[in-house]
Amino acid sequence: MEVAIFSSTPYERKFLDEANQSEHHALRYLDVLLDHDTAGLANGFGAVCIFVNDKADARALEALHRGGTRLVALRCTGFNNVDLEAAARLGMKVVRVVTYSPYSVAEFAVALLLAINRKVHRAYNRTRDSNFSLDGLIGFDLYGKTVAVVGTGKIGCVFAKIMLGFGCEVIGFDPYPSAEFKALGCRYAEPGEIGVKADIISLHCPLTPQTHHIINAGMLARAKPGALLINTSRGALIDTEAVIGALKSGQLGGLAIDVYEQEGSLFFRDLSNEIIQDDVMQRLVSFPNVIVTGHQAYLTREALTTICETTLQSVSAFERNEPLVNEVKAS
């Protein structure tokens, strides 16, 4: 089957080519984001493969449909960037990667936490300039601290298990409680408890209308002063302007994010020779207690292998008119 792969990168192509050795699809790599204006590049392709910042809204899907596309394959878990109702109306199927490596994202969240707490990013920059001063680099022991895990699915549970290994008390928030989370010895927080008790808040929930800006001005005002916030899930879980206000006031002790609400125009591109027009991002990176990475939490060999294999297996199942075990539909 002919598959147009939007937002492709050189490192992904290697893994996709390896996965395709057993699936035998015709892959066309495109280094542009999918939207209504670029959808025409997929004319004649029965399937398109997209990533987190591609925009598969109704207009883009209609353009794809006119060009002959009948399958949208997401090489990621989240599907908030796809208009599922429009896809259903057009008779287009949508599949995703339900799970790949929860360890990749959970371990990266821990890396961000350790780096922002112990000021590793600041120390690294100092020593490159032969500055070995320790002023301003004081962190705190993780042992005995309270960690709030927002979203207790597979990734959240792995993160919780690691935090338990540090000797933390782990509390959770999720409208769908997990038996696995409880079996670890963790518990779900009482109303308002996360704000009062949590020294660390780590986000591992999907982006839905209910979780949009779950971290907002009101929540931050109730947070424990000096708490650290980690986000490796979706950028729009955080109201960035509210977070900037909390950083300026000192209410929030530090922020480490691998995702950003407006990342579509920035991430996965080399902009080192350009003037960044995003003033909010520029303000974020100006804080000494903020770390921003470019959506790399999933980036391990194990995760990339599973993502690519699962995605192309779904394309093969569609081509053979077999059940799509990873299909996602409008609710």
Sheet holding 71-74, edge to edge: 26-29, 2-5, 47-50, 71-74, 93-95
Query: b/e per residue, 207-222, with b = 16+ CB within 10 A?
Result: beeebebbbeeebbee
1 CB neighbour count, 10 Å cutoff? 18
CA distance 282 to 292: 11
Q: What is the DSSP code string of 252-287? A: EEEEEES--TTGGGTTTS--TTS----HHHHHHHTS
The span from the CA of 102 to the CA of 155, in Å, is 5
- Rounded to whole angstroms, the Cα distance separating 71 from 116 reads 41
Alpha-carbon distance values, 66 to 46, 59, 73, 143 (Å): 11, 11, 17, 57
**Cβ distance 51 to 263 under 8 Å?**
no
Enzyme catalytic residues: 234, 263, 295
Q: Residue 299 region, left (φ>0) first, then alpha (ψ -120 to 50), else beta?
A: beta
- DSSP 8-state assignment for residue 26: E
